Amino acid sequence: MPVIIENVQSPAEAPARSWSKAMLRGFLRRCPACGAGSVFSGFIKVRDKCSRCGEELHHQRADDAPPYFTITIVAHIIIPLLLIVERLWQPDYLVHAAIWIPATLILTLVLMPAVKGAVIGLQWALRMHGFGGREEE
């Protein structure tokens, strides 16, 4: 006998979620659903669920996307600045190393959780990987 599950909306019937609002909330390291709870329990360790609204976050699949996007963003900031400094002042290579290595590391560490939060927010808004859509087979 088939099992009938009631009150379950298909993704087509479910109300649309704002991807821009969800990504902004994620970028600010907040729950994409309510915007109040924190997405992370550590530096980039995702909570199992939001402490405020209870939205389950454990099934997110950010994987390699946040480091890839972070590397791309950091490179697009650091390389033009490095080239400008080189053209204008032509400092010694040790001065370049003293400036750009710490700048790259700091920018990467600041952006990584924000970018990961934004990716999780996008996944939530698009109902990917169990965020209210079809379960993966």
pLDDT digits (tens, 9 = 90+) for 91-118: 999 999 999 999 999 999 999 999 999 9
Looking at residue 6, its pLDDT comes to 47
Domain boundaries of the chain, sorted by first residue:
37-125
C-alpha span between 40 and 124 (Å, rounded): 15
Task: Tally Cβ neighbours within 10 Å of residue 116.
Answer: 26
pLDDT digits (tens, 9 = 90+) for 8-37: 555 567 789 999 999 999 999 999 999 999
pTM of the model: 0.86
Looking at residue 132, its pLDDT comes to 80
pLDDT above 60: residue 137: no
Beta carbons of 70 and 111 less than 8 angstroms apart: yes
